[in-house]
Structure 1
């Protein structure tokens, strides 16, 4: 039995070819994400105390994630810290957009505490700023943590403007090269995706651009890097779009629905 056990251990160790796969990085990133959210929004959290804790946790993430030692990973914290007030300002504008857009929102506190769409946007904005510094794995782990909690999948590399509103959140997908401008509203089940998946498309714009003041209703699918949804347009539910839409347009699904009364 001991010999067989030793053989199994040796086989597992032989197959563990990736020396940088440390699951602790995922766990500590989730802890760091929660710390960030509390620091920015929780009234009872002491900002100064949490900033120190965030810095310590960030250093731990750097040890786990910055595998190329020549890269200046340790210089990132101060730059990231300086960006936090501006990120918070943007998020407060997002929360105001929720209040203006959703008649079911009873208070601004409810938006911050209970809306998965707002949480998804918050973690996107916090991870997007980190991604700018060339540290890709931690931002992706942050947004995947949010994805698991909210059902909203936003790649941290997407570019999203001010006053963004996501209603209900579940099933939304926003791809890596998507561009969303200001005052955009998106409902559940919307996909901003690529026309097809191919490794050759890496570093190529393959997801749509959504201009200012666009509303996209539930389960609409918009695909392609050259697809642009013009400003002030409304995209109806269950639509399938693979080419650009002019500004001030209304796009609807024209499937006929028949209602018959049974006597």
Structure 2
């Protein structure tokens, strides 16, 4: 580009940048905070040649890091940064208890799990759930955009996409997890188990539906097997139901239902082959 073209380009960028509504923390900083917070809660793994701070010092540092993440969003926050940080950390014990229930549920129902420690340290499903539960606290505190940055960090690492506004009950189990999508207005009860490739999505993606319930409700004790797709804000899967693999579901089912995809098997004739 010529100097004049460069100047014109820079002016275009400046005009566009001035029109943006939000300023955000960096994605790497948001990812580091979430990883450090999970490590603080569950210090099972250790870095080589790393000497950790005391628990109290780490807790204080995490408070400061969250305050720093909130700073670019300051004019859009519902309260002072310090107040929101205090409210977030006041809820951390409850979040910790929820995550322990999730970890124990995964360990109890996955025969491949060697124990809770493996689930916490290794399982992508637990990591995605942990990030979701932390981010969901921030959505409850009306913090904009940062919660989504956190769950997208988990999405990029695990292939599991859980919107931070979704409502998820206790003892949640995501096994394998790759390709799982849980939409913004989904409601999931207690003791629900979901396998890889499951979508809890919307039947209508029009922007005018943004304020409506677009994603399904999954009641307690439901199992949803791999690659099932459940769509629609009015769709309710009744408690204690089992949704089989590859099912496409856009209407409600009663409690204790068994829904499965029927495969047709046709034996080929050797005479026809020849």
TM range (shorter): over 0.9
Greater Cα shift, 127-136 or 45-54: 45-54
Question: CA 1:182 to 1:199, structure 2 compared with 1: closer, same or farther past 3 Å?
Answer: same
Deviation string for 1:27-70 (max 9, x for gaps)?
32112111211110115653211111111111111211222377
Establish whether residue 163 from structure 1 lines up as the match of residue 171 from structure 2: yes
Aligned to 1:26: 27
1:24-173 matches, within 5 Å, as 24-43=25-44, 45=52, 46-68=54-76, 71-173=79-181
In 1, Cα distance between equivalents of 2:109 and 2:267: 31
Greater Cα shift, 18-27 or 70-79: 18-27
Question: CA 1:69 to 1:117, structure 2 compared with 1: closer, same or farther past 3 Å?
Answer: closer
In 2, Cα distance between equivalents of 1:121 and 1:181: 14
Aligned to 2:217: 209
Aligned to 2:3: 2
2:197 aligns with one of 189, 206, 224: 189
**Structure 1 residues not aligned, in runs of 5+:** none
Question: CA 1:179 to 1:70, structure 2 compared with 1: closer, same or farther past 3 Å?
Answer: closer
Q: Under a length normalisation based on structure 2, what TM-score does the superposition of the two structures give? A: 0.89
Greater Cα shift, 140-149 or 17-26: 17-26
In 1, Cα distance between equivalents of 2:106 and 2:61: 31
RMSD of aligned residue pairs (Cα, Å): 2.0
Aligned to 2:230: 222
Q: Does the residue aligned with 1:8 lie in a helix, a strand or coil?
A: helix
In 2, Cα distance between equivalents of 1:33 and 1:208: 28
In 1, Cα distance between equivalents of 2:181 and 2:103: 20
In 2, Cα distance between equivalents of 1:106 and 1:69: 43
Between the two proteins, the alignment pairs up a number of residues equal to 263
Q: Does the residue aligned with 1:27 lie in a helix, a strand or coil?
A: helix
Q: Under a length normalisation based on structure 1, what TM-score does the superposition of the two structures give? A: 0.93
In 1, Cα distance between equivalents of 2:126 and 2:269: 41
Cα displacement (A) at 1:4: 3.4
Greater Cα shift, 63-72 or 49-58: 63-72
**Structure 2 residues not aligned, in runs of 5+:** 47-51
2:242 aligns with one of 210, 228, 234: 234
Question: CA 1:140 to 1:69, structure 2 compared with 1: closer, same or farther past 3 Å?
Answer: closer
Question: CA 1:63 to 1:225, structure 2 compared with 1: closer, same or farther past 3 Å?
Answer: same
Deviation string for 1:73-109 (max 9, x for gaps)?
4311111111111111111111111111111111221
Question: CA 1:40 to 1:259, structure 2 compared with 1: closer, same or farther past 3 Å?
Answer: farther
